[in-house]
A and B are shown apart, each in its own frame.
Chain A
Amino acid sequence: MHIAEGVLSGPVIAAGFAVAAVGTGIGLKKLDFEHIAETGILSATFFVASLVHVPVGPSSAHLILNGIIGLLLGWAAFPAIAVALLLQAVFFQFGGFTTLGVNTTVMALPAVLCFYMFAPFLKKTGKTAAAAAFACGFTAVFLSALLLGGALYFSDENFLEVATIAISTHIPIMIIEGLITLFCIGFLKKVRPEMLP
C-alpha cells in the first residue's frame, strides 16, 4: 500500500515526515545492537513477502502484512518499514522520497497500534488467540486504508471520492490479511513461539 509521488500536498508531506521521524526515532532507540541483524533480515523478509500475489476472486492482490510486522517487531516496525519502502521505491518506483514519510506512517503506525492492541491476547489459548490474530491482520490494513484515505483527503478535498474508492477496494484485502495473519501466527506459535511477543 503506497501513495505515488506528486499526489500529496506540502502540509501532509510534512505531517507524514513528522510522525515517521518520531516513530523511527523511537524504533531505533529501542533497537539495541543485539537486534539489528534480526530487524534487517525480517525487514528483507517483509519486502519479499509483500511481492506475493494472492488470488482474490478473479483478480489478485499484494500482501501488506503490517499486522504481522507489528507483532514481530513492535516499535522497530517503523525503521523496518521505512527501509523496505525505500527499497520498493528503488526497485519498483513505488513511491519516492517525498512520500516516504506518509507511506511509512500509513503502514507502520497501524502496525505499532496493533502490537499494543492485540499482542496481549495472543498468549491466550484457542479461540481468543485466533480471533486476536485475525483482528490484528484485519485492523492493521483497515487503519492503513483509513490513513491513506485521510492523507489523500487532506491533500486536496477533491480527492474525497478517490479516497473512498481506495478504502473500499481494501475491504477484501482486510479479510485476506486477517486470514493470512491468523494462519501465520498459528504456524509461528507451533514452530517458533519465541518469535511472538
Chain B
Amino acid sequence: MLQENFCRGESPIHKLSPRTRTLAAIFLAFVVALCQTIPPLLLALALSFILIIAARINLFKAGRRLLVIAGFLLLIWLVLPLTCGGPVIWQNSFLEIGRTGITLALLLTLKTSAMLLIFLALISTMSTADLAHALHSLKLPAKLVLLLLITYRYIFLIEDELQTMLRAAKIRNFQPNTSLHCYKTYANLLGMLFVRSAERAQRVHKAMLCRGFDGRFHSLTEYHDRAQDYFFLSFILIFSTILALSELRIVVFPAIL
C-alpha cells in the first residue's frame, strides 16, 4: 500500500508554506552535497535532527527510512577501507585497512544520512500535490507540473489494480519462483496493466477535452509568504553560510571535529 505517512501534522515545519520548504530543501541539498569534509557534515547532520524533531516525526520511523540507504552504506564500508589505500591502520596477511577508505566511508555515511533526513523533514511532510505547486511557483515548466499532478493522481488507483491482479494470481495458486512460467506471468500482468492504463488515458484525455482543455495549465495556487517563512529561509541561508565557511576552513571548529 502506498502511503504518504508524514504529510499531515501540526508541527512548525508543517506550518511553513510548501514553497518555503521546497526552496529550503533544494538549497540545503546542494550545499550539503558539495561539502567534502567531516566538520560541516556533522553540522548538517545536527541540523537534520533538529528539522526532524521540529517536524515532529517519530524518530523510530525516521530511523526506519534510513534503512533505504543501509544496503549501499554497508557495501561502502565493506569495500572502501580495503581498496582505497592511504596510511594502513590495521592489517593481516590478506587484508589491509586504509585510512582514506575509512574517512571516505564516514563522509558518505554522514552526508547521505543528513540529506535523507532533511528531505524527509522538509519534503515528505507535504503532499505531492503541494510539492508540485511549489515547484511550479519555483518555475518548473507547467507541462512537467501537470504531468506530475496526473501521475500522482493515478498511482494509487493503478497500485490498487496491480495488487488485486497479484491477489487473483495467488488465488489460482501462482507461486513466484525463478522460472520462465513465473516471468511470463509477471510480464502478462504488467502488459495488462499497461493496456488498461492506455485505455484509461484515452478516456481521461476525452474527459479533459470536455472540460475545455487545450494544453495550457493554469495553477490555482498562490503563495503569500509570512514572517515565519522569511525567518526560516534566513535561518537556512545563515546556516548554509556557516557550512560553506567551515568547509573552506575559514571557520574552524575544535580539534575533535
Taking beta carbons and an 8 Å cutoff, which residues of A are in contact with B? 4-8, 10, 13, 24, 28, 31-34, 36-45, 47-49, 51-52, 54-57, 63, 65, 68, 72, 79-80, 82-84, 86-87, 89-94, 96-98, 156, 158, 160-162, 165, 176, 179-184, 186-188, 191-192, 195
Q: Is B195 a contact partner of A47 (Cβ separation < 8 A)?
A: no
A10 partner residues in chain B, CB cutoff 8 A: 33-34
Q: Is B202 a contact partner of A38 (Cβ separation < 8 A)?
A: yes
| Chain B residues bordering chain A, tally (CB within 8 A) | 78
20 pairs, A vs B, C-beta closer than 8 Å: A5-B29, A6-B115, A28-B143, A34-B205, A44-B153, A49-B162, A55-B176, A57-B178, A65-B190, A91-B4, A96-B29, A158-B84, A179-B187, A186-B187, A187-B187, A187-B188, A188-B194, A191-B195, A192-B195, A195-B195
Q: Is B197 a contact partner of A41 (Cβ separation < 8 A)?
A: yes
Q: Is A184 a contact partner of B190 (Cβ separation < 8 A)?
A: yes
Q: Is A97 a contact partner of B200 (Cβ separation < 8 A)?
A: no
Q: Is A36 a contact partner of B146 (Cβ separation < 8 A)?
A: yes
Q: Which residue of A lies closest to B33 (CB)?
A: A98
Query: Provided the pairs A4-B112, A42-B201, A195-B195 are in contact, do residues A49 and B143 lie with their beta carbons within 8 angstroms?
Result: no
Bound Cα distance A194, B12 (Å): 51
Bound Cα distance A57, B182 (Å): 12
Q: Is A191 a contact partner of B191 (Cβ separation < 8 A)?
A: yes
Identify whether the interface residues of B are mostly helix, strand, loop, or mixed: helix
Bound Cα distance A100, B194 (Å): 25
Check B257 for interface membership: any CB of A closer than 8 A: no
Q: How far is the CB of B160 from chain A (nearest CB, A)?
A: 9
Q: Which residue of A lies closest to B160 (CB)?
A: A48
| Residues 121-160 of B at the A interface (beta carbon under 8 Å) | 123-124, 128, 131, 141, 143-144, 146-155, 157-159
Which 4 pairs show the lowest CB-CB distances between chains A and B?
A: A40-B150, A33-B215, A183-B187, A187-B191
Q: Is B119 a contact partner of A52 (Cβ separation < 8 A)?
A: no
The stretch that binds A, out of B71-79, B221-229, B232-240, B242-250, is: B71-79
Check B177 for interface membership: any CB of A closer than 8 A: yes
Query: Provided the pairs A4-B69, A184-B191, A187-B192 are in contact, do residues A36 and B186 lie with their beta carbons within 8 angstroms?
Result: no
The stretch that binds A, out of B13-21, B51-59, B89-97, B100-108, is: B100-108
Q: Which residue of B lies closest to A32 (CB)?
A: B215
Bound Cα distance A92, B187 (Å): 24
Q: Which of A8, A45, A87, A180 contacts B193 (CB 8 A)?
A: A45
Q: How far is the CB of A195 from chain B (nearest CB, A)?
A: 5
